[in-house]
Structure formats: C-alpha cells, structure tokens
Amino acid sequence: MICKNCLVELDDDMKRCPLCGTPVSGAGVPEEHTDHDRVVTPGLSYLEDAEKHVLQRILWQVTATLLVSGIVATIIIDRARHDTITWSLYPVTICLMVLSYASLFAFWQTKAIFRILAGWLLSTVFLIAINQYTAPSDWPVGLGIPLVFAVNFIALALLAVFHLTKRKGLNLLAYTFVAVAVLCISINGIISRYFTGVIYLGWSIIVAACILPVAAALIFVFFRTWNNPRLQKIFHT
Amino acid sequence: MAAETKSIRHRVPGENRSTEDFWLRLDNAAKIYPAIQSEEMTAVFRLSVVLKEPVKISSFLKAVSLLEERFPYYKMIPRKGFFWYYLQHYNEKIPVMPDAGIPCRAFEKDQLYFRVLLKGSKVSVEFSHILTDGSGGFEFLRSLLMTYFEVCGLLAQGKKAFMRHDQEVSPEEFEDAFGKNFQTDLPVPVKVAKSFHLPFALKTTPRFGVMSFLVPLGEVITKAKQFSVSLTVFLVGVYLLSLQNIHSKLAPLKKRHSRKILRVQVPVNLRKMYPSKTMRNFSLFVTPEIDLRLGQYSFEEILNIVHHKMQLETDRKLISKIISRNVGAERNILLKNTPLFIKSLFLFFTYKIQGTSRYSGVITNLGKVSFHEEVDKFIDYFVFIPPPPNKTLKVNCGVIGFGDNLVLSFGNISASRELEREFITTLTRSGVPVKILP
C-alpha cells in the first residue's frame, strides 16, 4: 500500500500515513505511534548536601583561624603600645561579630533567616556588652546598633528577594549590587547623623551611581538571555 | 571542551536537567553562520538518497527512533551568549517530515537545526552548517539508512561499518577539531586578489533553485584519466572552463572592467589529513585559479593548473597555516572579549564586503560513496545540494557519486542557467551523456 501524498510504503494495517497524516482510502481512524522510552537520571541531592556541609565547615575553619589570629595580633599590638585596650576594641568587636555569623552559618542547620536573626541578636549583645566593659558611651546606640540593624535588615530583605525569585541567574547579582548601594547609603546616613547630627549623603551617592547602572545592565542581560541562566554558557569567550 | 561529558549517552537522555547541562561552543567554521544566515542564505545543505523501492514508513520511523539518542550533538539549537553563540542541547525528537520539494529551507527559531525528509523512495537529510559539514551529515545519513535496512531485515546484524544506534557516543565525535589541531605562531597565509563574479541578475525571492544532472561515473572517470587527473580536478577544470566561456562572452566594455581572475573554492575534508572522529565541521578550502590577464586557457592547461594547485594547497603544512589563521582570529584577545552584538555586526559587514569576493564559484565533491555490498543493491543514487549561494557567487555545485551514478547539483539564485549550460555542454561535447533529474 502506497501513500497517495508522500509515496512511501505503508503497512497493511495502517489507517493513515504516519508521515503526512493522509488517510488511506476507506479508513477514518488516525493512527498514533508511541513515544519511545527515555532514561531519567536519578537525583543526587543528598550527596550534594553532604558535600555542601563539608565545604561550609572548611570555610569556617579558615575564617575562624584568620579572625582569631587578627584578634590576638590586634590586642597584643594595642596592649604593647598603650598597656591597655584602646583602639583594638573596635576591630576585635567587628571580628567577633563576623565570627559569630560564620559559626552560626557553619553549624546551625536551619533556615537562613533564623541564622541571620540570631547573628543580629548576638552582634547587638556584643556591642552592648563591650560598651559596658569599657567606659559607657553613646556610640553603640548612635552608631553600632543602627549599623548592625542596617546590615542585617538589608541582608534579610535580599534573602527574601532571592527566595521569591523563581528564575535565578544574573538577576541575583544585580539585586546584590542594589543591596550594596542601599547599604552604602544607609551607612553614610547613619555615620553622618552620629557625627554631625544631620543626615548628609556624599560618597555613598557616588558609589550608588556607579553600582546601579551595572545592576541595570545585569538585569538587561538576564532578561535578554531568559532561557539560558547558566553563566558559563552565556559568558564563554 | 565545553560541555565536558564523559558519556553523553547516559546524561543527555534525561529531560530538563540534561538539556541544561549539555552545550557546545560553535566550532571555528560554524562561528560565522549565525551572523550571516537569512531566509534566503540559509546555510542549510541537503543530502538525499534515492532507493530502488519506496520507503517502508513503519520500518523507517523505527530506525529513526532507534537513532534518537545516538547523535545528541545534532540535537542542538544555537543560542546567544554574551560573547559568542553556543549550541544548546534540545531534547526534541528527530523531525521526520514529508518532502515538499523545496530544498535547504531555513530552520525556525527553537527548532532542531536538522531534519529528515521523505518522499516515495527518496530519503533526504538537511543540516545547518552550524552543526556540521557534508561529511558529518553523510555519516548521519549512512547510519540512518543502515539502521533502516537492518530494521527491514536486509542487513545482517553486527555490521560495524557505520555508527550504530546501540554504540556509545564518543566525546571525540563532538570535539572542535579545528581547536584541537590549531598550532600557534604560524605565519599568516598570503592575501589573494578579488576575483570575477557571474554577471547575472538575481531572481525574485524565493531565489534558490536547484538543477541536478545524472552522469555515468565510469565515463567521467575515464575522461579524467585521459588527462591523468582525478575526478575532482576534472570537474573543477570544467567549472573554470565554463566560467572562462562566460567571461569571454561578456560585452567588450563589461569584459574590460570585470575582474580577470577566475578562482574556484573546493572544500577539502580535513578528516583525511588529521586523525579526527569529529561529526562537526572539519573542512577547509583549496582555491585553484586561472588569471585571464595572461590570456585564454585551453582545457588541458586549466586541468594542469588545477591539478598542481590542488596538490600544492592540500599540503598539510599549508592547511595548518589556514587553520592557524582562522582559529587564531577567534582566539584574539580583543575579538573574543567583544560583546556578541558588536561581533555579529562586524562579521556581517565583513562578510558583506569581503565574504566571497575572492571566489568566483564553489564546487563541493563528496566523492564516491559506498555502504556495503549487502545494501548497495537497494540504492539507486545520491544527491548532494550545497547551501544556497550568496548574492556574489550566485551559483554553486555539489557532486556525489554512487555505483556508476554521479550526480551534479547546481544551486542557483540568479535568473540565468548559463553556468549550468556551459558546464553540461562541456561534458556532453566530450562524449559524456547527461540526464536531467526530476
């Protein structure tokens, strides 16, 4: 039996040509051919999770070693020169705060939002405790706590945006840039408010003006390459 | 290699995950096509085989389905990167469709860049040059046909002379052989002068038309042997002679102002020179030429020049120099870091201005092909239709032989058939009978 349209040879039991769909004279029921089997690769997520945790711990070890070394060195230098702790209090505070965040992220297996909130709380407690240890002043309330608040609030907002973003690619980098710009403006505002009593934005506006066009370009590339969010493919040279 | 997969066969068959994972950089020869291809200049070539019996559709579709996962590197679509285009795996079924008779049509966006077409006893495959060259496309067709014959029970199991459907996909099959055989610090080839182009007016769109001619292979080879040259040299000689005849018929003023160098581009399959199993593009060109400023040439003189020029230019060291120039340009730090839209504009205008300005025509000879004695008896002849030529070249020619049948196909976008007429008349005058194929 030959198809009238494409002239190929049909099987005797075919009601229509599977190539062009032309019905064999006297037949009306379309014939469908089935999909052939496809192999589906099994997921490997549990292995990836284990690998991720090992990597996190190694990163924490490196971070902790560097921070503790920094703390010890700073205190030794400060004490050697002034016989007491003076300026080293500030870098030590910052190092301890970073260490608390690193530890929470390395060892507390919970949602990122809880880890950030816990880090925020710990940082605030650090600031207050250190202020109590030294001669109490207004810098924790006027400067330290607002800065910690700004950093954590923006980080949480960024995390929420990441979470709500369904398609992840260059857009995440763009959002991070925007967050950095907002953070710079906040830091600039908080510092100027503490020292001068008024909010004066200077350097942060320049930083934002530089960062935001980059973020806009990244967003543009992201939507331009909507179907291909993998960076290696898009940016190979 | 970009999509470094040790065993593609085991990863690609999955759905979305593998589709995202498997991608390839364009090979050196393919890089220009996304920038210059259009509805008319499609960069699509066709390979057809005409069997002695109509195709059994159920067996054929089964053969196609058996091959679904054998050629993952052809199931790709070009995508825009920031610096270059790349090929993204697209896990669609191999498209099989009735042959509507219009060869080398452009592929739609988000469609696989190859297709299988059927009409009666004729099986055709069409590939975009972005994916592969004629040799790669032919290997696919060979595999498809042999699988079909195997499904039909016409071929004993276990024949290994083709890429079997149950065979593992080797990464060598989708390697960029240009990059692999690239040598640094080689001198740049000498720039050649612009050449004569056919003075014909273009047809209105759609422009591309094909005429195919069947000639007895044995008789052409006998003629070639009379001049002690190969079949390819003989055909290139006929092509140059036809161009010379067209040039000599020009009106005196036009002849005076036209370019006098007749140069033909002849693709060379580099797999024969470099050990490579690649199924992607791996060919370059040699360019035999005659210079009419030195006077008119006899057919013997043309054959002599073509013979020696082809011997000279197929020297491996000279080919290395051309690979080095082409790949070197691609790896130039400035060029490779230029955003794609600028690069595409640059490639488009460079091709527009220079493109084929240094060639008068193209003739691609895929040579005499043979499958296996068990199945050769079921095949009548093959046809190779090269991609539509551009507005400068206007005409090109594809040649393929099987058994005692040699098929010459002329792709033409001009309103004139003068070149075909000259070419065929030269053959018939030398005593070779020519039959026009439907």
CA-to-CA distance for A120 and A127, rounded, in angstroms? 11
Half-sphere exposure of A76 (CA within 13 A, CB side): 6
* Mean pLDDT score across all residues of chain A: 80
pLDDT over 70 (residue A89): yes
Check if B65 contacts A (Cβ < 8 Å).
yes
Please give, rounded to a whole number of angstroms, the shortest distance from the CA of B60 to a CA of chain A. 10
Q: What is the pLDDT of residues B139-165, one digit of tens each?
A: 999 999 999 999 998 887 665 667 888
For residues B297 and B350, state if they share a domain.
yes
For residues B124 and B267, state if they share a domain.
no
Structure confidence at residue B157 (pLDDT): 65
Q: Which residues contact B4 (CB under 8 A, 6 or more apart)?
A: B171
Q: What is the CATH number of the domain that holds B425?
A: 3.30.559.30
**ipTM for this model:** 0.76
Q: Is residue B204 part of a domain?
A: no
Amino acid identity at B26:
L
- Judge: B98–A36 Cβ closer than 8 Å, yes or no: no
Structure confidence at residue A52 (pLDDT): 66
Q: Is residue B309 part of a domain?
A: yes
For residues B161 and B217, state if they share a domain.
no
Tally of CB atoms within 10 A around A189: 17
Structure confidence at residue A122 (pLDDT): 86
CA-to-CA distance for B103 and B388, rounded, in angstroms? 9
Q: What is the pLDDT of residues B184-210, one digit of tens each?
A: 777 777 788 899 999 999 988 889 999
Nearest to A41 among B17, B61, B97 (CB): B17
Structure confidence at residue B163 (pLDDT): 82
> Closest Cα partner for A24 from A13, A32, A33?
A13
For residues B164 and B47, state if they share a domain.
yes
Q: What is the CATH number of the domain that holds B143?
A: 3.30.559.10
- Judge: B58–A18 Cβ closer than 8 Å, yes or no: yes
pTM more than 0.90 = no
Residues of A in contact with B86 (CB under 8 A): 233, 236
Highest-scoring range by mean pLDDT, B107-111, B124-128, B252-256: B124-128
> Closest Cα partner for B66 from B151, B171, B161?
B151
For residues B98 and B213, state if they share a domain.
no
Query: Domain range holding B347?
Result: 209-369+382-436
Structure confidence at residue B14 (pLDDT): 37
Structure confidence at residue A46 (pLDDT): 43
* Mean pLDDT score across all residues of chain B: 88
Please give, rounded to a whole number of angstroms, the shortest distance from the CA of B172 to a CA of chain A. 20
Structure confidence at residue B95 (pLDDT): 94
Please give, rounded to a whole number of angstroms, the shortest distance from the CA of B437 to a CA of chain A. 18
Number of compact structural domains in chain B: 2
Q: Is residue B56 part of a domain?
A: yes
Q: Is residue B198 part of a domain?
A: no
Nearest to B68 among A18, A36, A40 (CB): A36
In this predicted structure, which of B65-79, B173-187, B423-437 has the lowest mean pLDDT?
Answer: B173-187
Nearest to A40 among B15, B65, B118 (CB): B15
Check if B82 contacts A (Cβ < 8 Å).
yes
For residues B32 and B86, state if they share a domain.
yes
Helical residues (DSSP H) of chain A, grouped into ranges: 45-82, 89-107, 112-133, 139, 145-164, 170-196, 203-224, 231-234
Q: Is residue B291 part of a domain?
A: yes
Q: What is the pLDDT of residues B320-375, one digit of tens each?
A: 888 888 888 888 888 888 888 898 888 888 887 777 788 999 999 999 998 878 88
The band of B6, judged by pLDDT with boundaries at 50, 70 and 90, is very low
Phi, psi of B339 (to 5 degrees): -55, 150
pLDDT over 90 (residue A102): no
Q: Which residue has the higher pLDDT, B307 or A169?
A: B307
Q: Which residue has the higher pLDDT, B115 or B17?
A: B115
For residues B303 and B230, state if they share a domain.
yes
For residues B170 and B30, state if they share a domain.
yes
- Judge: A36–B83 Cβ closer than 8 Å, yes or no: no
Check if B368 contacts A (Cβ < 8 Å).
no
> Closest Cα partner for B48 from B366, B279, B283, B272?
B366
DSSP conformational letter for B25: E
Q: Is residue B189 part of a domain?
A: no
Helical residues (DSSP H) of B227-315, grouped into ranges: 231-248, 252-257, 299-313
For residues B406 and B314, state if they share a domain.
yes
Residue with tokens 């002690």: B228
CA distances from B197 to B297, B384, B415 (A): 18, 23, 15
Structure confidence at residue A35 (pLDDT): 36
For residues B153 and B223, state if they share a domain.
no
Helical residues (DSSP H) of B152-212, grouped into ranges: 177-180
Q: Is residue B197 part of a domain?
A: no
Q: Which residues contact B14 (CB under 8 A, 6 or more apart)?
A: A38, A39, A40, A41
Structure confidence at residue A38 (pLDDT): 28
Nearest to A236 among B15, B84, B119 (CB): B84
- Judge: B61–A33 Cβ closer than 8 Å, yes or no: yes
| pLDDT over 90 percentage in chain B | 62
For residues B274 and B362, state if they share a domain.
yes
- Judge: B13–A39 Cβ closer than 8 Å, yes or no: yes
Q: Is residue B194 part of a domain?
A: no
The band of A168, judged by pLDDT with boundaries at 50, 70 and 90, is confident
Q: Which residue has the higher pLDDT, B13 or A115?
A: A115
Mutating which of B21, B58, B115, B378 best tests the A interface, going by the most A Cβ atoms within 10 A? B58
> B192 in helix, strand or coil?
coil
Residues of B in contact with A237 (CB under 8 A): 83-84, 336-337
Mean pLDDT of B51-59: 93
**Contacting B residues, span 29-58, partner chain A, CB-CB under 8 Å:** 53-58
For residues B150 and B284, state if they share a domain.
no
